[in-house]
């Protein structure tokens, strides 16, 4: 009996992680990037960029598997994206905001204490691709 209770609790927890609502008012907020930071729960980056850079980065982000727009977009000053992990559907939120001559990027997890560098790796991959595609064009 205890075994099935534990299984039920685990299944309910995983369902909550996958189905929990994502409120744009909570997640689509100013990233407040003052400098590049590697955090236990995510990463902050500031790069030089304009509206065209934002548009290109938006396209790169949307090509990432299991990623969708939560709110905003390049036509607005800010956009927030949700990227879910492959197996359990853990959501990570990435906000990109256009400032004067720069883009501020804040990627962070929703659940847990540490993202184990997943957000840093994802953002650095996007920025590397942005830089290489910019050099080609």
The whole-number pLDDT of residue 135 equals 64
Residue 31 has pLDDT above 70, yes or no: yes
**Domains in the chain and their CATH numbers?**
22-136 (3.30.310.80)
Residue 109 class from Cβ within 10 Å (0-12 exposed, 13-18 middle, 19+ buried)? buried
pLDDT digits (tens, 9 = 90+) for 6-19: 888 888 877 777 77
Residue 134 has pLDDT above 60, yes or no: yes
């Amino acid at each position: 009996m205890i075994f099935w209770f534990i299984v039920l609790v685990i299944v309910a927890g995983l369902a909550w992680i996958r189905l929990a609502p994502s409120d744009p008012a909570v997640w689509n907020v100013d990233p407040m990037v003052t400098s590049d930071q590697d955090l236990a729960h995510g990463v902050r980056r500031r790069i030089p960029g304009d509206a065209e850079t934002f548009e290109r980065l938006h396209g790169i982000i949307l090509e990432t598997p299991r990623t969708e727009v939560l709110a905003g977009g390049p036509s607005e000053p800010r956009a927030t994206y949700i990227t879910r992990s492959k197996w359990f559907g853990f959501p990570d939120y990435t906000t990109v905001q256009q400032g004067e001559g720069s883009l501020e990027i804040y990627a962070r997890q929703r659940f847990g204490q540490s993202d184990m560098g997943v957000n840093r790796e994802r953002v650095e991959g996007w920025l590397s691709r942005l830089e290489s595609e910019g050099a080609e064009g």
